Structure 1
């Protein structure tokens, strides 16, 4: 009896890990709104098994969000912290976040707050917003970034870039990147932008 129970638990754990890995693969390609049927198919289980093991889409997303997105965003924060010039740090953060939105549909969904009911996603977004706000303040203190730019403006610029990445998924990456450089130059104070 105990051996059977242990075997069932081991099978259930393998099942859960298989679903998690399938969700990571599927969400990376198609974003967080990819139908659960695709995750189930990739995992070789029924959709009902996903509901049984994770309680549905929200539970599954909450179970994979750290592996799916948090590591990318934390990596960006760590890499830009090493930059000493506040304006370069601020602009590098935006460049990296905007490219993440283009390259990773699931990350874009997180930054667009496509699933506001997810506590891990909300916490991650709030942390990223606070970090971006700090970088903005430090960059503005140099006088080289517009002083009328607010943290809310910054959030909306990230949100708008995400909408553009989602709506224009056929645009080449270098064109997307070239166009966001225009946005960055508009964030500089007029005397700096014209230099």
Structure 2
């Protein structure tokens, strides 16, 4: 690839990171093209499709944030704090980062990198659920599918209730977390 083409690709990638970070993965490509100073056709020429562009930036865009949640939570002591902190941090990530919310809501199910990222987050959540249930601190009737649905529901709520403050959102998360605990 020529030097000017490489600069174009990097400029498009950087613009996509900025635009998707604030608007999510469904932001029109026209906005990415405008931010990159290229035509939408150039994006398609260089990346093949919207999915190709998203696949090219998703690691930089979201993966590090999800990996940080996993590493931070895994270092905590106790199955209940790990389980609750995983959900709290995941839900707050959905609130703070529209692109992360899109990954966790599977808006592009045909994207292999997004699916891999989603599965990594779900696998970790399932492990935490199992550990918390084995310790008797989380209700036994919660299934791994319920856990995925809780994350999907939070994503829908973030989109539908976009006028709520982060503090109010976080306060409501605590209601949900308390409802997941066993009541001894």
Band of TM-score, shorter chain: over 0.9
Give 1:167 shift.
Answer: 1.0
Deviation at 1:132, TM superposition (A): 0.3
CA deviation string 1:166-188 (max 9, x = no partner): 11111100001101110000000
Q: 5+ residue gaps in structure 1?
A: 1-7
Q: CA deviation at 1:142?
A: 1.3
RMSD of Structure 2 on Structure 1 (CA): 0.8
Runs of 4+ in 1 over 4 A off after TM superposition: none
How far off is 1:55 after superposition?
0.5
Q: Distance in 2 between matches of 1:166 and 1:148?
A: 28
**Alignment correspondent of 1:154:** 147
What's the TM-score once normalised by structure 2's chain length?
0.98
Aligned with 2:35 (options 26, 42, 58): 42
TM-score, normalisation: structure 1: 0.93
| Counterpart-to-counterpart distance in 1, 2:106 and 2:163 | 22
Q: Which has the larger radius of gyration?
A: 1
Aligned length: 184
Q: Which of 68, 88, 91 in structure 2 is aligned with 1:95?
A: 88
Tell me, in whole angstroms, the C-alpha distance in 1 between the residues paired with 2:59 and 2:4: 24
Is 1:134 the counterpart of 2:88? The answer is no
Q: Deviations over 1:95-119 (max 9, x none)?
A: 0000000000000000000000100
Query: Deviation at 1:45?
Result: 0.2
Which of 135, 148, 165 in structure 1 is aligned with 2:158? Answer: 165
